[in-house]
Amino acid sequence: MTGIHNLMAKNGDGNKLIWITEFGAPTSGRGGTNDVFVSEDTQAQILSQAAALYHKQSWSGPLFWYNWQDSNGDSSENHYGLVRVDGSHKPAYDVLTALTRKIS
């Protein structure tokens, strides 16, 4: 992201914010050979570390997590949620809750 911002600044867009959209990490996937996923605890660590690093930058805009809730299916695409299919919270949900309390 720093490289992208440096390029933007070089071209006169340094005052614009960079938004991170559809950021996340899936916690399951058995649908194909390309499915890569992390543990639920690692998903929470990724969110925490990304927020800490990203918000140190003056050019950081919003960071959007993908996705709110897991859906049924074997593909890792179905398991980016902060909430499991049954509605129970993953550890990353608690991280997001704590982060939003800090900024409100």
User: Residue 13 pLDDT more than 80?
Assistant: yes
The length of the chain is 104
| pLDDT of res. 48 | 95
| pLDDT of res. 16 | 95
Q: What is the mean pLDDT of residues 35-60?
A: 92
User: Residue 32 pLDDT more than 80?
Assistant: no
Where along the chain do its domains lie? 2-103
CA distance 29 to 77: 8
50-104 pLDDT, tens digit each: 999 888 999 999 989 999 999 998 888 999 999 999 999 999 999 999 988 876 5
Side chain identity, residue 100: T
| pLDDT of res. 18 | 93
pTM: 0.85
> Whose CA is closest to 83, among 36, 37, 35, 24?
24
| pLDDT of res. 55 | 83
